[in-house]
Amino acid sequence: SIRINKTAPRPPMPRQGVYTLVRVLYASIDPIDYKLPSMSWPVPRLVIGSSPITPGTSFVGQVQETRHPGFKAGDFVWGKHDMSVKHGTCASYTLVAGNKGVVKIPADWNPKRSLEEFAGAGVVAQTALQTLIASGLPLPLQRSSDDQVLDRTIFINGSTGGVGTFAVQMAKRCFRVKHVVVSCSGANSDFVKSLGADEVVDYRTCGANGLSGWLKDWSKTNGRSFDAVIDNVGTEPDLYWNCHHFLTADGKYVQVGGGMDVGSFAMTAKKALWPRILGGGQRAFQFLGTENKPDDLSMIGMWMAEGKVRCVIEDDNRYSLLDVKKAYEKLNSGRVRGKIIVVV
């Protein structure tokens, strides 16, 4: 359960190692924040440590004290912790270890735009970028021209959450993918098209054969298969088992979403390990765990400053620190478009 502690002390600065104490301005919350502590003992204790713990992984704020060689007190920085940690970001101060998960706000950031966007980007924007790279898409920097359209067709399952909204924008506006097909509810169709999606399938009404059947029919009708599938949901096993009907022979299925129960872990392991010759999946599969990379954060920050991508934050998804319990209740409902921001 979540309780507000108005007298919690500042996280102590360790005597050795690279650490940065950040005065948090905005934080965002993610499913891992409540899924990990709810797992069976001893997993939470081994990963996070003893109670009490402060939730929250992503942040934007101002440096108070640091031994990071690139920072000084007063710098505005953003990023994410490697995982859920004892001194999380839903607090006045958070302690960031190392130098991989924190970078400065871009120098050309428009001061008229709120820094809250960076709080929402720490986990999900890195995840979106890394899934696109893992799927085989070449980075724009590896191509001859930023304006060169990439002749690829990709499918993104789950396009309205934090990762999905960034993945759609990046695929279309940064990687310049020619055709981006996404899934969402029909009510969100216009919304995801405004982010760059070329075509939308309503997962609720895609026919008796489900989403995999719709994608198979799409492939037959259009005379081409998808070059990559990015699964931000991960709860429909048939989507992978049948993907050889709509994913190219050298295409890759990258999953980032999924449950954290034993059954979900077993299914993900089955997808990854069951050999093709024994009846397993017919296409390459990867379950991606997000890794903190300062170069990725810097690239995302550049794209945000240039206006190519933005963090989707709707008005009713902002909560004060005192209302953080309500914020998690909404996140747990599964009906969130974009990101939930905690104003510290």
Indicate whether 5 belongs to any domain: no
Q: Quick one: what percent of the chain has pLDDT higher than 90?
A: 73
Top-confidence range, 78-87, 260-269, 276-285, 309-318: 309-318
Task: Tell me, yes or no, whether 27 and 107 share the same domain.
Answer: yes
Segment 4-18 shows an average pLDDT of 92
Structure confidence at residue 145 (pLDDT): 59
CATH code, 104: 3.90.180.10
Segment 249-261 shows an average pLDDT of 85
Task: Tell me, yes or no, whether 142 and 119 share the same domain.
Answer: no
- Which parts of the chain fold into alpha helices (H)? 31-35, 43-47, 116-121, 124-134, 162-169, 189-195, 210-222, 237-241, 262-273, 294-306, 324-333
| Residue 256: domain span | 126-287
Question: What pTM value is reported for the model?
Answer: 0.92
pLDDT at 262 over 60: yes
* Backbone dihedral region for residue 54 (phi beyond 0: left; psi -120 to 50: alpha; all else: beta): beta
Task: Tell me, yes or no, whether 207 and 240 share the same domain.
Answer: yes
Segment 97-102 shows an average pLDDT of 95
pLDDT at 111 over 80: yes
* pLDDT band per the 50, 70, 90 thresholds, residue 34: low
pLDDT digits (tens, 9 = 90+) for 200-220: 999 999 888 999 999 999 999
Task: Tell me, yes or no, whether 38 and 94 share the same domain.
Answer: yes
Task: Tell me, yes or no, whether 58 and 161 share the same domain.
Answer: no
Structure confidence at residue 42 (pLDDT): 47
What is the overall mean pLDDT for the chain? 90
pLDDT at 249 over 80: yes
CATH code, 144: 3.40.50.720
Indicate whether 305 belongs to any domain: yes
Kindly report the number of other CB atoms within 10 A of residue 275's CB atom. Answer: 8
Q: Looking at 46-55, 93-102, 155-164, which range is the least confident one? A: 46-55
Task: Tell me, yes or no, whether 211 and 137 share the same domain.
Answer: yes
Task: Tell me, yes or no, whether 166 and 311 share the same domain.
Answer: no
Task: Tell me, yes or no, whether 130 and 279 share the same domain.
Answer: yes
Task: Tell me, yes or no, whether 118 and 153 share the same domain.
Answer: no
Q: Looking at 58-62, 64-68, 257-261, 291-295, which range is the least confident one? A: 257-261
In angstroms, the CA 219 to CA 216 distance is 5
Q: How far is CA 83 from the centre of its chain?
A: 13
In angstroms, the CA 289 to CA 127 distance is 8
Exposed e or buried b per residue across 28-47, where buried means at least 16 C-beta atoms within 10 angstroms of its C-beta: bbbbebbebbeeeeeebeee
Question: Considering its fold, how many domains does the chain have in total?
Answer: 2
Indicate whether 4 belongs to any domain: no
